[in-house]
Amino acid sequence: MNNYEFITLEGIEGVGKSTAIGVLSQVLQDKGRDVVITREPGGTAIGEKVRDILLSTQNGEMSALSELFLLLAARAQHLAEVVSPALIAGKCVICDRFFDATFAYQGAGRGLDTSIINDATGLISPFFLPTLTFLLDAPVEVGFKRIETRAETDRFEEQNKAFFKRVRASYLNRAQQEPHRFVVIDASQSLGEVTHKIELTLNEKFGD
């Protein structure tokens, strides 16, 4: 089953994923696609409740393993309820974060062994894998500067720069290992330049 469109967006905090998702959706809709926008953790009623737990700054003592299994529980529901049905129905799914984030944040960021993440992820291995992943990349200092303008920050956004440098390095390593799936965009550029790169990629992948 490889005739489907499952696009994911990845990157550290403050790289502009929300804006990019809007551009992606509009371009694909202009091409006649039926688009479903979703996110992880979240995307379902159950997943959003798990998201609240994961992002709450009141849960600062959460262990890395607890974090991993909460994320995977939300993903299992997300795949069953949203992602797989939409793709089977021929819709284009755009997801803000997916399994690459698990290896970057819980693996590189939190220090969990990759084998643990592989084994745990394998229990809910999706039938559908991303066909295209946009990695919005920017130096950690750029992301931090943008986060500073937010009224409130969540539990992940409050991590230190060393954490996010590990996360960023993991993302870039994964992109290097899978160049056929990843498109790396310099998110420190202007919005217009980022938008242009997204549009060019989509035109190349899915036709003008």
Q: Which residue ranges make up each domain of the chain?
A: 6-206
- Rounded Cα gap, residues 142 and 88, in angstroms: 39
Predicted pLDDT at 2? 59
pLDDT in single tens digits along all 208 residues of the chain? 457 899 999 999 989 898 999 999 999 999 999 999 999 999 999 999 999 999 999 999 999 999 999 999 999 999 999 999 999 999 999 999 999 999 999 999 999 999 999 999 888 877 788 999 999 999 999 988 887 777 688 899 889 999 999 999 999 999 999 999 999 999 999 889 999 999 999 988 887 6
Q: What angle do CA 19, 22, 24 make, to 5 degrees?
A: 110
The residue ranges of DSSP E strands in 55-172, in sequence order, are 92-96, 132-137
**Are 103 and 174 in contact, with CB atoms under 8 Å apart?**
yes
Predicted pLDDT at 208? 60
**Ramachandran area for residue 160 (φ above 0: left; ψ -120 to 50: alpha; else beta):** beta
Residue with tokens 């590990």: 166
Give which of 38, 28, 40, 165 is closest to 101, Cα–Cα. Answer: 40
Q: What backbone phi and psi angles, to 5 degrees, belong to 131?
A: -90, -20
Both tokens of 153, joined, read 């920050």
CATH class of the structural domain 6-206: alpha beta
Helix, coil or strand: residue 7: strand
